[in-house]
Each structure stands twice: as structure tokens, then as C-alpha cells.
Structure 1
Amino acid sequence: MQALCQHQEESHHFTWKMLIPIQHVLKSYYMVLAIVGITVNLLGIVILSSGKCGLHASTTCYLVAMSTADLLVVITEVVLNQINYYYLPVSFLSITPVCSAHTVLLRAATDCSVWFTVMFSFDRFVAICCQKLKEKYCSKKTGVIILAITCVLLCLKNSPYYFIFDKQEIINNIPWFCYPKASFYTEPHWVGFDLFNTLLTPFIPFSLILLLNALTVKHILVASRVRKGLRGQSIGGNHSDPEMESRRKSLILLVTISGSFIVLWLVFVIENMYYFIGATDPTDYTDSEYIFQQVGWMLRNLSCCTNTFIYGAAQSKFREQAKSVVKYPVRSIIECIKNKRF
């Protein structure tokens, strides 16, 4: 429920003297995050879609979907929510039906970003640990179907958010601003709906990613010891093992992406647990609690900008393609200048 209350600072029990510097930090942070997030996610989508990074087709499918979902989160959350609040507090997005639809899109994009990471972790788990299932499951066609079904279900799951808001006032027959209806906090079905959504994102994905990574790492360690014994490496041999090298690269990519997600979402998850277990209203947060909440949001939104950097660090072919994409416009400009001169 924090998503509906995150900008209601006027109700918080903290000092305005403390709020002003925080506002300046948040304004600058989200502006930079929007520029970086849009740029790197578009770059990731273009490079991965080319299919020249040496990755398995199913892996590429999931990574493109994750970058697309992250881009949508940057647009709906960082640009249309955070930046719009700080720079254009009253705009077209303040019209009640528009901000209601925006909330649905924001929640759906966030859920897709999270659950696509879970789907990617499961795909890598199957590819590494379940050889019999690998041939049928780890394909581009299966990946597209799973991602499409997941996206549709998450959009349908979040559609009730459109109906939780009420207008604050009517100006020229147009309803303005979105405020949660009082029934949202009291009616059992709405309270249950909010709890279900919080469990679905982020508690269940958080747990599943930890579990899948632990099982995958355990399987690779056990398989590595067995294969080393069979190949005679335990007695000083120095034979290369292409299969284990391939698994090692897959594991590095999986652990870095999943690990980044867990680290950057951790503060947000802890704050959600505090909110539900402690039954504390976010509008009654103290100074330190409010700062902790905002740090959680900042890190959570940052997680939508890190995957492209991880691809570059973990995949040499991705780095090569990134350099080519970056150099292309520079070369084009230089060629245009030369043609004009001569």
C-alpha cells in the first residue's frame, strides 16, 4: 500500500527542515535515473535482439523481456510518477481516470519486471539442473509463450487497482486527483487484495529466486566435483571441460542478475515487512522510518537500470556489440562531415 501513499509527505510526522534537502536529493536522483535507465535499457534491447551475443535463444528471449519490462518501469514509475510529482505536480496525469490507469500500468510493469527475473532464474535452473526437461522447456518458443501468459495474467491481476481511487474535486466537469477510497483500508476483500499483491510481489519472487539460485549453485558444485574426478583433474590433470565452462558462464550471469535484484530490493522488502508485521501506517512514519522507506524505493527503482551493466561485465560479446552500437553514430557523423568537406 506504500505505493499509494509514497508522496503524501504533508501527512508525515517529520520536520519540514529535514524534508527540503531530501526533496532536492530525490529530484536530482530520479532525473539522472530516468536518463540512465532509458538509455541503458534501450541499448540492452537493441544489442540482445540482434542475437549476436553468443547466448542461448531462450536466454536471449528472457533477457530482452526483462530489459523491456525494466524500461516500462523506468517510464511509468521514475518518469511519470516520481519526476512528474517533483517537477509537474499538477498535469494531465492528475486527472482521476488517467492516474487510475497509470497506477494499473505501473503495478503491472513492476510485477512483470520482477516475475520475468523469476522466469529467467527458473529457465537457467532447468537448463543446468534438469537435462531431461531442458530440450522441451529451454527454447525460444516456450519462453515467448511463458512470458506472454505471465504478462497477461499480471495485467489482469492489477486491473482492480483502477477502481480503488476516488476524485478529490471536479473542475469544469473533469475529476481531478486520485485518493484511495476509505473502503480500500477497511473492506476485507480490498485488504485481502492488497496483502495478496504484496505477497506476490515481492515476497514470493524474492524467496523463489533465492531457492532457485541455491539449488543451481549446489548442482553445479556437485557436478563439477564429479566431472573433475572422472576426467582425472583431481590428480593433477589440466584438461579443459567445455560443458563445465558453459555452465560456469551461465551461473555467473544468473547469480549476478539475481544477486543484484535481491540486494537492491532488500531494503524495500524489509520496509514492507515492517509495514505489515508492525501494522504501522506510512503516514505516521518518523524521520528515520521515512528515510528508510525512500532509500528502499530508490534502490528498488535502481534495479531497473543495472542489468545492462551486468551483461557488459559478464559477457565479452555483449561488450563488443555495445562498443559497435556506441561507435556507429560517431562514425556516421565523422563520415557526414568528411563528405561535406570534400
Structure 2
Amino acid sequence: MGQLTILLIKEIYYPILAVVGVPANLVTIVTLSRGNCSLSKCISIYMVAMATGDLLVMIINVMVYYIFSYHFPHSFLSHTPVCKFILYMITVSLDLSVWFTVSFTFDRFIIICSQTFKTKYCTERTAALVITMFSILIFIKNIPLFSAYELEQMINKLWWGCRPNLAILSSSFGAMFIWFHSIWRVWLPFTLIVLFNSLTIRRVLVASRVRRRLRGHSSENQSDSEMENRRKSIILLFTISGSFILLWLTESVSFVTTRLINTNKYHGDYTAPAYIATETGAMMKFLNSCINTLIYAATQSKFREEFKKTLKYPWILMEGLFKIDAKTGVAW
């Protein structure tokens, strides 16, 4: 029974995550795209991009791979070309989610710490360009993954299944690519997010002290709209960055330890600490793609109001479609 504990948790966890995460990210995208959340167009683009990346993670990684492919091992999803494409998109979707978060963090860093550069960088055009360039780069970067997997078996002249291409993965190129992949997806983003946030904190503390001195002669009860807006922006930034680091940390540490001490072979032992750490890390990192909607709702009152309106809109639409005219008795 103990051996099946982690498997049972996965059976329950991933369907719940998909049921919550897919609609949450869809509604978030619609809500932000309507542009009524009192956010600049620049930050809205980054937030829509993050929600889109998270939605891809929910659909491809959680639904397609951990639910459909797992429960229907003999479906068309197991055909080798389809299987390779799924594995490719698994990596692409995670990379997009991660680097859209880094892009958002850098944009907030610039707008708070560089008063001269922000007018040129923190624009709608630049945000769209950054998101587009990162997307293209990530899709190109992961092309070698197609050769990292090979045909598992031939059934009725059909290519079936995917397995790691040991000849490539065990080569020096394969080892370098695996480590580069880990650094690109986790350790470099971690470093950049911590660096940008540290500099942002320093800038905010200095600016707050100067502003308090300049406003010392004013009434204590007088509101400071600029500082209030900055406070909300900082809370949003740090909450998103902090949740990303915390939820990805277990997966990152387990990857390094299993690689360094060569414990990535479990031989079907589901109680092996390396296996449990790896699966726990995976569950936590996927949770990161479900939690941003909650963060937006908790930190942005206007987003919370618009999110509720978006949720109510389908019901209002249905009510209008099925409303019966009292005089004609015809639905309109």
C-alpha cells in the first residue's frame, strides 16, 4: 500500500489541478484582454502572456501527458510522431511560462528603478516584441528534443511509443544539453528574478525614505497616490516572483541531486526518495501555473471585480438567449 501512495496522490491531484487551472487561466486571459483592470497596456501584455503560458502547461503537461497519455496508453497519443511532439511541447510550454515571468519581473524592475529608460522600454510595442522574441527563441531552442527520443516499438507497421535515445543522451552533447536545459529553465531565471527584485527593493526603500522627508511638512493623513500605486505594483511583483521560486525549488534541487549522485534510476521502486522528490517537485511546479490567477485576485481589486464580471457573462448571455418574450412567446 505504501508503494502506491505517490501514485494515488497523482491520480487525484492532476485532474483537480486541470479542472481548476484550465478555466482559471482562460478567464484570466479574457479578463485581462478586455483592458478594464486599471493596468497599463504594457503590464497587461505580460500578464496575458504569463496566463497563456500557464494555460499551455495545464493543457499539454497536465491534461495531455499526465492524464490522457497515462490513462489511455494505447491511444493515438502514443504514436511516435505524436508522442515526440507532446514531449517537445511539454518543454516549450514550461519554458514559455518561466521566461514570461522573468520578462514581467524585468519590466517591473525597469519601471521602478530606471526613470529615464522606462519611457522607451515599458511600452506596449516593446512588451509585444519581447514576448514574441522569447517565444521564437524557445521554440527554436527545443528543436533538438525531437532527436532525444526514438521509436520504442513497431506494431502493425506503426511507430509506437517514445523512449530516450541513450546514444544521444549519454554523449557529451546530450549531457551538456541536459545541464544547459536545467540552467536555462530554472537557475538562470532564479538568479535574474532574485537580482532584479533585490535591486527593486533597494530602490523602493531609498525612494520611500526620500519621499517621506520631502513630504514631512504635509499632513500625515494626506494620501500619496504614487506611493500607493507603487506599493500595489511591488506586492504583485514579489508575490508572483516568490511563488515561482518556492514552487519550483523542490524540482530544481531534486534534479541536481539525482544527477550528481546518479539516483535517477528508480527501477519501479515508487518509495525511492529520489522518485518521491522528483514527482513532488513536478506537482509543485505545475501548481505555479494555476496559482497566478489567485495572486491577481488577491492583490488587484479591479482585476477581482472584472474577473467576477467575466465569470457571470456566460450566464447573462444564456439568460438573454433563452429569455421568452411575454407577448410573442418566442425566444430571443
Corresponding position of 1:111:
95
Displacement of 1:287:
2.5
Corresponding position of 2:317:
332
Listed as ranges, the matches of 1:261-272 within 5 Å are 261-272=244-255
Displacement of 1:340:
6.3
For 1:280, give the aligned amino acid.
T
Corresponding position of 1:312:
297
For 2:274, give the aligned amino acid.
E
Q: Residue by residue, what CA displacement relative to the aligned partner does 1:252-308 show, whole Å, maximum 9, x if unpaired? A: 110111111111111111112212333332436752332222111111011101111
CA distance in 2, matches of 1:278, 1:328: 54
**SS at 2:116 equivalent:** helix
For 1:205, give the aligned amino acid.
P
307-316 or 181-190: bigger deviation: 181-190
Corresponding position of 2:174:
190
Corresponding position of 1:58:
42
Corresponding position of 1:217:
201
C-alpha contact 1:48 1:60 (8 A) present in aligned 2: yes
325-334 or 143-152: bigger deviation: 325-334
Asked if 1:293 is matched to 2:316, the reply is no
Asked if 1:250 is matched to 2:264, the reply is no
Aligned length, in residue pairs = 325
For 2:205, give the aligned amino acid.
L
**SS at 2:250 equivalent:** helix
Displacement of 1:75:
1.0
Unaligned runs of 5+ in 1: 1-16
CA distance in 1, matches of 2:22, 2:97: 14
Corresponding position of 1:40:
24
For 1:317, give the aligned amino acid.
K
Asked if 1:206 is matched to 2:190, the reply is yes
CA distance in 2, matches of 1:180, 1:336: 52
Q: Residue by residue, what CA displacement relative to the aligned partner does 1:100-156 show, whole Å, maximum 9, x if unpaired? A: 111111111110100100000000000000110000000110011111111111111
Superposition TM-score, scaled by structure 2 size: 0.93
C-alpha contact 2:18 2:59 (8 A) present in aligned 1: yes
Displacement of 1:324:
1.0
C-alpha contact 1:167 1:175 (8 A) present in aligned 2: yes
C-alpha contact 1:231 1:239 (8 A) present in aligned 2: no
For 2:324, give the aligned amino acid.
N
Displacement of 1:337:
5.1
C-alpha contact 2:69 2:78 (8 A) present in aligned 1: no
For 1:50, give the aligned amino acid.
R
C-alpha contact 1:127 1:134 (8 A) present in aligned 2: yes
C-alpha contact 2:150 2:165 (8 A) present in aligned 1: yes
Moved over 4 A (4+): 335-338
For 2:229, give the aligned amino acid.
S
CA distance in 1, matches of 2:130, 2:234: 22
**SS at 2:314 equivalent:** helix
Corresponding position of 1:323:
308
Listed as ranges, the matches of 1:83-94 within 5 Å are 83-94=67-78
C-alpha contact 1:27 1:86 (8 A) present in aligned 2: no
C-alpha contact 2:264 2:275 (8 A) present in aligned 1: no
CA distance in 2, matches of 1:69, 1:329: 24
Superposition TM-score, scaled by structure 1 size: 0.90
CA distance in 2, matches of 1:226, 1:215: 17
CA distance in 2, matches of 1:56, 1:314: 16
Q: Percent identity?
A: 41
CA distance in 1, matches of 2:37, 2:76: 41
CA distance in 2, matches of 1:301, 1:340: 48
Displacement of 1:191:
1.0
* Structure 1 residues 145 and 194, CA gap change in structure 2 (3 angstroms): same
For 1:150, give the aligned amino acid.
F
CA distance in 1, matches of 2:199, 2:242: 14
For 2:157, give the aligned amino acid.
N
For 2:317, give the aligned amino acid.
S
Q: Residue by residue, what CA displacement relative to the aligned partner does 1:226-255 show, whole Å, maximum 9, x if unpaired? A: 10001116x973332222112111101101
Asked if 1:95 is matched to 2:76, the reply is no
Corresponding position of 1:227:
211
CA distance in 1, matches of 2:112, 2:261: 40
Displacement of 1:335:
4.2
For 2:294, give the aligned amino acid.
F
CA distance in 2, matches of 1:299, 1:281: 19
C-alpha contact 2:78 2:161 (8 A) present in aligned 1: yes
Corresponding position of 1:148:
132
For 1:311, give the aligned amino acid.
Y
